A and B are shown apart, each in its own frame.
Chain A
Amino acid sequence: MKRIIASALIAASPAAAADFSEGSTAKSWNLYAEAPAFFEAKVVDITCEVTGDCPDNCGDGNRQLGLLRAADGVLVFPNKNAQSGFQGATVDLLPFCGKSVEVDGLLIEDEDIKGASNIYQVQTIREAGTEDWTKANTWSKVWAAKYPEAKGKGPWFRRDPRVNAHLAETGHFGLGLEKDAELIKELFE
Protein backbone atom coordinates (compact mmCIF):
# COMPACT_ATOMS: atom_id res chain seq x y z
CA MET A 1 0.00 0.00 0.00
CA LYS A 2 2.90 2.36 0.72
CA ARG A 3 4.02 1.91 -2.89
CA ILE A 4 0.57 2.86 -4.19
CA ILE A 5 0.51 5.97 -2.03
CA ALA A 6 3.99 6.95 -3.20
CA SER A 7 3.03 6.48 -6.84
CA ALA A 8 -0.10 8.53 -6.33
CA LEU A 9 1.86 11.36 -4.76
CA ILE A 10 4.48 11.35 -7.54
CA ALA A 11 1.80 11.37 -10.21
CA ALA A 12 0.01 14.23 -8.49
CA SER A 13 3.13 16.38 -8.32
CA PRO A 14 3.39 19.38 -10.67
CA ALA A 15 5.15 18.58 -13.94
CA ALA A 16 7.45 21.53 -13.38
CA ALA A 17 9.00 19.70 -10.45
CA ALA A 18 10.19 16.82 -12.63
CA ASP A 19 13.96 16.67 -13.07
CA PHE A 20 15.35 14.39 -15.75
CA SER A 21 18.84 15.87 -15.90
CA GLU A 22 20.60 12.85 -14.37
CA GLY A 23 22.62 11.06 -17.04
CA SER A 24 22.04 13.73 -19.66
CA THR A 25 24.89 14.93 -21.84
CA ALA A 26 22.69 17.24 -23.91
CA LYS A 27 24.29 20.37 -25.29
CA SER A 28 22.93 23.68 -24.11
CA TRP A 29 21.29 25.99 -26.63
CA ASN A 30 21.31 28.81 -24.10
CA LEU A 31 17.53 28.96 -24.12
CA TYR A 32 15.90 30.80 -21.24
CA ALA A 33 13.88 27.88 -19.87
CA GLU A 34 15.88 24.86 -21.05
CA ALA A 35 16.88 21.96 -18.85
CA PRO A 36 18.84 18.88 -19.92
CA ALA A 37 16.59 15.83 -19.94
CA PHE A 38 17.45 12.18 -20.45
CA PHE A 39 14.60 9.70 -20.16
CA GLU A 40 13.02 6.52 -21.44
CA ALA A 41 9.84 6.79 -23.46
CA LYS A 42 7.66 5.20 -26.09
CA VAL A 43 7.48 6.96 -29.47
CA VAL A 44 3.83 7.64 -30.30
CA ASP A 45 1.70 9.44 -32.87
CA ILE A 46 0.40 12.41 -30.88
CA THR A 47 -2.89 12.65 -32.79
CA CYS A 48 -3.48 8.96 -32.14
CA GLU A 49 -2.54 9.26 -28.49
CA VAL A 50 -4.81 12.24 -27.90
CA THR A 51 -7.82 11.55 -30.13
CA GLY A 52 -7.73 7.81 -30.83
CA ASP A 53 -7.35 8.27 -34.61
CA CYS A 54 -4.46 5.91 -35.33
CA PRO A 55 -3.15 5.20 -38.86
CA ASP A 56 -0.32 2.74 -39.54
CA ASN A 57 3.30 3.60 -38.77
CA CYS A 58 2.48 6.71 -36.72
CA GLY A 59 1.24 8.51 -39.83
CA ASP A 60 4.30 7.72 -41.97
CA GLY A 61 6.08 10.98 -41.21
CA ASN A 62 3.10 13.25 -41.81
CA ARG A 63 2.15 13.55 -38.15
CA GLN A 64 3.90 14.99 -35.11
CA LEU A 65 5.36 12.28 -32.90
CA GLY A 66 5.46 12.35 -29.13
CA LEU A 67 7.40 10.74 -26.30
CA LEU A 68 5.27 8.93 -23.75
CA ARG A 69 7.65 9.13 -20.81
CA ALA A 70 8.06 5.83 -18.98
CA ALA A 71 8.66 7.29 -15.53
CA ASP A 72 5.38 9.16 -15.21
CA GLY A 73 3.27 8.60 -18.33
CA VAL A 74 3.56 12.25 -19.39
CA LEU A 75 3.20 12.94 -23.12
CA VAL A 76 6.25 15.04 -24.02
CA PHE A 77 6.06 17.03 -27.29
CA PRO A 78 9.35 17.12 -29.26
CA ASN A 79 9.08 20.37 -31.23
CA LYS A 80 12.63 20.43 -32.54
CA ASN A 81 15.41 18.17 -33.69
CA ALA A 82 19.14 18.71 -33.07
CA GLN A 83 19.92 20.70 -36.21
CA SER A 84 20.27 24.43 -36.14
CA GLY A 85 17.60 25.95 -38.32
CA PHE A 86 13.93 25.25 -38.64
CA GLN A 87 13.43 21.48 -38.55
CA GLY A 88 11.01 19.50 -36.42
CA ALA A 89 11.64 16.08 -34.89
CA THR A 90 9.22 13.80 -36.73
CA VAL A 91 11.68 12.62 -39.38
CA ASP A 92 14.20 11.63 -36.71
CA LEU A 93 11.69 9.87 -34.47
CA LEU A 94 9.75 7.99 -37.16
CA PRO A 95 12.15 4.98 -37.37
CA PHE A 96 11.36 4.42 -33.67
CA CYS A 97 7.54 4.52 -34.01
CA GLY A 98 5.97 2.34 -31.32
CA LYS A 99 9.32 1.47 -29.79
CA SER A 100 10.72 2.12 -26.34
CA VAL A 101 13.62 4.50 -26.64
CA GLU A 102 16.00 6.56 -24.59
CA VAL A 103 16.31 10.18 -25.60
CA ASP A 104 18.60 13.00 -24.60
CA GLY A 105 17.91 16.65 -25.19
CA LEU A 106 16.49 19.83 -23.70
CA LEU A 107 13.17 20.14 -21.92
CA ILE A 108 11.41 23.52 -22.04
CA GLU A 109 9.34 24.48 -19.00
CA ASP A 110 8.62 28.20 -19.01
CA GLU A 111 6.08 29.35 -16.45
CA ASP A 112 5.94 32.79 -18.07
CA ILE A 113 4.58 31.47 -21.38
CA LYS A 114 1.23 29.71 -21.38
CA GLY A 115 1.58 26.18 -22.74
CA ALA A 116 5.38 26.07 -22.63
CA SER A 117 5.37 22.81 -20.72
CA ASN A 118 6.68 19.38 -21.67
CA ILE A 119 8.18 20.83 -24.86
CA TYR A 120 11.34 19.04 -25.95
CA GLN A 121 14.30 19.46 -28.27
CA VAL A 122 15.58 15.97 -29.04
CA GLN A 123 19.31 15.64 -29.67
CA THR A 124 19.97 11.88 -29.59
CA ILE A 125 17.83 8.73 -29.65
CA ARG A 126 18.46 5.04 -29.16
CA GLU A 127 16.18 2.05 -28.87
CA ALA A 128 15.97 0.90 -25.27
CA GLY A 129 18.44 -1.87 -24.53
CA THR A 130 20.79 -0.95 -27.37
CA GLU A 131 24.14 0.82 -27.22
CA ASP A 132 24.39 3.09 -30.22
CA TRP A 133 22.89 6.56 -30.25
CA THR A 134 21.37 8.14 -33.36
CA LYS A 135 21.76 11.89 -33.71
CA ALA A 136 18.50 13.68 -34.44
CA ASN A 137 19.88 15.45 -37.47
CA THR A 138 18.52 13.58 -40.48
CA TRP A 139 15.87 16.08 -41.61
CA SER A 140 17.98 17.92 -44.19
CA LYS A 141 19.04 14.73 -45.96
CA VAL A 142 15.42 13.59 -46.24
CA TRP A 143 14.43 17.04 -47.55
CA ALA A 144 17.24 16.97 -50.15
CA ALA A 145 16.07 13.58 -51.40
CA LYS A 146 12.50 14.85 -51.64
CA TYR A 147 13.41 18.02 -53.56
CA PRO A 148 16.35 17.15 -55.85
CA GLU A 149 15.38 20.05 -58.13
CA ALA A 150 16.13 22.44 -55.25
CA LYS A 151 19.79 21.46 -55.06
CA GLY A 152 22.09 24.44 -54.68
CA LYS A 153 24.09 26.65 -52.39
CA GLY A 154 22.86 27.93 -49.07
CA PRO A 155 20.54 26.49 -46.44
CA TRP A 156 17.48 24.44 -47.42
CA PHE A 157 15.02 27.06 -46.25
CA ARG A 158 16.25 29.50 -48.89
CA ARG A 159 15.66 26.87 -51.57
CA ASP A 160 12.46 25.20 -50.41
CA PRO A 161 10.00 25.22 -53.35
CA ARG A 162 6.88 25.50 -51.21
CA VAL A 163 8.25 28.36 -49.10
CA ASN A 164 9.54 30.20 -52.14
CA ALA A 165 6.15 29.87 -53.86
CA HIS A 166 4.56 31.62 -50.87
CA LEU A 167 7.20 34.33 -50.79
CA ALA A 168 6.77 34.90 -54.54
CA GLU A 169 3.03 35.28 -54.09
CA THR A 170 2.65 37.35 -50.92
CA GLY A 171 6.17 38.45 -49.93
CA HIS A 172 8.30 38.10 -46.80
CA PHE A 173 5.74 39.81 -44.58
CA GLY A 174 2.80 38.01 -46.18
CA LEU A 175 1.13 41.32 -46.99
CA GLY A 176 1.45 41.33 -50.78
CA LEU A 177 4.32 42.10 -53.11
CA GLU A 178 3.73 45.84 -53.33
CA LYS A 179 3.75 46.26 -49.55
CA ASP A 180 6.71 43.91 -49.32
CA ALA A 181 8.81 46.00 -51.70
CA GLU A 182 7.93 49.14 -49.76
CA LEU A 183 8.91 47.60 -46.40
CA ILE A 184 12.13 46.06 -47.71
CA LYS A 185 13.13 49.43 -49.14
CA GLU A 186 12.56 51.02 -45.71
CA LEU A 187 14.47 48.24 -43.95
CA PHE A 188 17.60 48.36 -46.07
CA GLU A 189 17.90 52.06 -46.88
Chain B
Amino acid sequence: MKLTRHLAAPLCALALTAPASATEGERIQITGEIIDTWCYFSGVMGGPDAVVGSAHHTCALWCSAGGIPVGLLGEDGEVYMVLKIEGDDQNASGDTNLNLASHEITADGMLYKRDGLNYLVVEKVVTDHGITNLNHEDYGVVPGFAIPDPKK
Protein backbone atom coordinates (compact mmCIF):
# COMPACT_ATOMS: atom_id res chain seq x y z
CA MET B 1 0.00 0.00 0.00
CA LYS B 2 1.34 3.42 -0.91
CA LEU B 3 1.59 6.00 1.85
CA THR B 4 -0.58 8.98 1.20
CA ARG B 5 0.58 12.44 2.25
CA HIS B 6 -1.97 12.38 5.09
CA LEU B 7 -0.68 9.08 6.42
CA ALA B 8 3.00 9.81 5.93
CA ALA B 9 2.98 12.87 8.19
CA PRO B 10 1.82 11.15 11.38
CA LEU B 11 4.07 8.19 10.72
CA CYS B 12 7.03 10.56 10.41
CA ALA B 13 5.97 12.12 13.68
CA LEU B 14 5.80 8.65 15.20
CA ALA B 15 9.32 7.92 14.06
CA LEU B 16 10.52 11.10 15.73
CA THR B 17 8.72 10.62 19.02
CA ALA B 18 8.64 6.87 19.56
CA PRO B 19 10.97 5.82 22.39
CA ALA B 20 14.14 4.29 21.05
CA SER B 21 15.65 1.93 23.60
CA ALA B 22 19.42 2.15 24.08
CA THR B 23 20.01 4.93 21.60
CA GLU B 24 23.42 6.07 20.49
CA GLY B 25 24.79 8.92 22.57
CA GLU B 26 26.32 12.21 21.53
CA ARG B 27 29.65 13.35 22.96
CA ILE B 28 29.47 16.59 24.89
CA GLN B 29 31.46 18.64 27.35
CA ILE B 30 29.37 20.57 29.80
CA THR B 31 29.82 22.62 32.94
CA GLY B 32 27.22 22.70 35.68
CA GLU B 33 26.26 21.93 39.25
CA ILE B 34 25.47 18.49 40.67
CA ILE B 35 21.97 18.92 42.12
CA ASP B 36 19.28 16.83 43.73
CA THR B 37 16.59 16.57 41.10
CA TRP B 38 13.50 15.97 43.23
CA CYS B 39 13.78 19.27 45.08
CA TYR B 40 14.59 21.03 41.81
CA PHE B 41 11.78 19.54 39.72
CA SER B 42 9.05 19.34 42.36
CA GLY B 43 9.45 22.72 44.04
CA VAL B 44 8.86 21.02 47.38
CA MET B 45 11.49 23.18 49.11
CA GLY B 46 11.05 26.37 47.11
CA GLY B 47 11.94 27.82 43.73
CA PRO B 48 14.73 26.46 41.54
CA ASP B 49 17.23 29.17 42.52
CA ALA B 50 16.88 28.26 46.20
CA VAL B 51 17.33 24.48 45.96
CA VAL B 52 20.86 24.54 44.59
CA GLY B 53 24.23 25.81 45.76
CA SER B 54 25.60 26.37 49.25
CA ALA B 55 22.16 27.19 50.70
CA HIS B 56 20.91 23.72 49.82
CA HIS B 57 24.12 21.74 50.35
CA THR B 58 23.01 19.78 53.42
CA CYS B 59 19.74 18.84 51.75
CA ALA B 60 21.63 17.84 48.60
CA LEU B 61 23.69 15.46 50.74
CA TRP B 62 20.57 14.02 52.35
CA CYS B 63 18.87 13.50 48.99
CA SER B 64 21.91 11.95 47.35
CA ALA B 65 22.45 9.57 50.29
CA GLY B 66 18.73 8.78 50.21
CA GLY B 67 18.86 7.69 46.60
CA ILE B 68 17.18 10.70 45.01
CA PRO B 69 18.58 10.93 41.47
CA VAL B 70 21.26 13.53 40.93
CA GLY B 71 21.49 15.70 37.87
CA LEU B 72 23.91 18.15 36.39
CA LEU B 73 22.29 21.58 36.07
CA GLY B 74 24.10 22.96 33.06
CA GLU B 75 24.95 26.55 32.35
CA ASP B 76 22.33 26.28 29.61
CA GLY B 77 19.62 25.73 32.25
CA GLU B 78 19.06 22.13 31.18
CA VAL B 79 19.15 19.28 33.70
CA TYR B 80 21.20 16.23 32.73
CA MET B 81 20.27 13.15 34.74
CA VAL B 82 23.56 11.51 35.73
CA LEU B 83 23.79 7.79 34.93
CA LYS B 84 27.50 7.20 35.57
CA ILE B 85 30.54 9.14 36.67
CA GLU B 86 33.95 7.88 35.59
CA GLY B 87 32.76 4.28 35.40
CA ASP B 88 30.79 4.34 38.67
CA ASP B 89 27.26 3.26 37.77
CA GLN B 90 25.90 3.55 41.32
CA ASN B 91 23.54 6.38 40.50
CA ALA B 92 21.20 5.57 43.41
CA SER B 93 22.91 6.65 46.64
CA GLY B 94 26.45 6.01 45.38
CA ASP B 95 29.56 7.56 46.93
CA THR B 96 30.74 9.39 43.81
CA ASN B 97 27.45 11.26 43.49
CA LEU B 98 27.49 12.06 47.21
CA ASN B 99 31.04 13.39 47.12
CA LEU B 100 30.12 15.81 44.33
CA ALA B 101 26.89 17.17 45.87
CA SER B 102 26.54 20.89 45.05
CA HIS B 103 29.88 20.96 43.23
CA GLU B 104 30.29 22.68 39.91
CA ILE B 105 32.03 20.32 37.54
CA THR B 106 33.12 20.32 33.94
CA ALA B 107 32.19 16.94 32.56
CA ASP B 108 33.10 15.17 29.36
CA GLY B 109 30.85 12.33 28.35
CA MET B 110 27.93 11.01 26.38
CA LEU B 111 24.51 12.61 26.19
CA TYR B 112 21.36 10.60 25.60
CA LYS B 113 17.85 12.02 25.18
CA ARG B 114 14.68 10.15 25.99
CA ASP B 115 11.08 11.30 26.49
CA GLY B 116 11.87 14.87 27.44
CA LEU B 117 14.80 14.09 29.72
CA ASN B 118 18.55 14.40 29.16
CA TYR B 119 20.74 11.56 30.42
CA LEU B 120 24.49 11.89 30.92
CA VAL B 121 27.25 9.33 31.22
CA VAL B 122 30.21 11.30 32.58
CA GLU B 123 33.31 9.63 31.26
CA LYS B 124 35.66 12.16 32.84
CA VAL B 125 35.29 14.93 35.37
CA VAL B 126 37.60 17.35 33.61
CA THR B 127 37.53 19.85 36.48
CA ASP B 128 35.89 19.81 39.90
CA HIS B 129 35.43 23.47 40.71
CA GLY B 130 33.97 22.77 44.17
CA ILE B 131 30.96 24.68 45.47
CA THR B 132 30.80 27.93 43.52
CA ASN B 133 27.14 28.92 43.84
CA LEU B 134 27.19 30.89 47.10
CA ASN B 135 23.46 31.43 47.22
CA HIS B 136 23.36 31.23 51.02
CA GLU B 137 24.00 34.97 50.74
CA ASP B 138 20.46 35.28 49.32
CA TYR B 139 18.61 32.31 50.80
CA GLY B 140 20.37 31.42 54.04
CA VAL B 141 19.82 27.71 54.48
CA VAL B 142 17.18 25.73 52.54
CA PRO B 143 15.26 24.10 54.13
CA GLY B 144 15.53 26.06 57.36
CA PHE B 145 15.69 22.92 59.50
CA ALA B 146 18.79 21.65 57.67
CA ILE B 147 20.92 23.19 60.40
CA PRO B 148 19.74 22.47 63.95
CA ASP B 149 19.55 25.54 66.18
CA PRO B 150 22.74 25.30 68.30
CA LYS B 151 20.92 26.91 71.24
CA LYS B 152 18.44 24.03 71.50
Contact A166 B61 (CB under 8 A): yes
Partner of B77, one of A55, A114, A117: A114
Contact A31 B43 (CB under 8 A): yes
Partner of A167, one of B58, B92, B151: B58
**B-contact bits for A93-109, CB 8 A (1 contact / 0 none):** 00000000000000010
Among A20-28, A72-80, A123-131, the one that faces the other chain is: A72-80
Contact B150 A8 (CB under 8 A): no
Residues on the A chain within 8 Å of B150, using CB: 184, 188
Closest to A115 in B: B79
Q: Could you tell me the distance in whole angstroms from the C-beta of B64 to the nearest C-beta in chain A? A: 9
Chain A: residues with Cβ within 8 Å of the partner, total of 71
> With the chains together, A8 CA to B15 CA distance in Å?
9
Query: Which B residues from 7 to 44 make CB contacts under 8 A with A?
Result: 7, 10-11, 13-14, 16-19, 21-23, 25, 36-38, 40-44
Residues on the B chain within 8 Å of A57, using CB: none
Task: Tell me if B127 is interfacial: C-beta within 8 Å of chain A.
Answer: no
Q: Which of B13, B67, B78, B99 gathers the greatest number of chain A CB atoms within 10 Å?
A: B67
Interface of A is mostly: mixed
> With the chains together, A137 CA to B149 CA distance in Å?
29
Once A11-B17, A51-B83, A51-B112 are accepted as A-B contacts, the answer to whether A174 and B91 lie under 8 Å apart by CB is: no
Contact A8 B10 (CB under 8 A): yes
> With the chains together, A31 CA to B38 CA distance in Å?
11
Task: Tell me if B122 is interfacial: C-beta within 8 Å of chain A.
Answer: no
Hey, which bits of chain A sit against chain B, CB under 8 A? Answer: 1, 4-5, 7-9, 11-12, 15, 29, 31-34, 46-53, 55, 59, 61-65, 68, 73-77, 79-80, 85-91, 108, 110, 113-119, 121, 139, 156-158, 160, 162-163, 166-167, 172-175, 183-184, 187-188
List 9 tightest A-B contacts by C-beta distance, closest first.
A88-B67, A12-B13, A52-B22, A117-B116, A115-B79, A8-B10, A86-B66, A174-B57, A86-B62
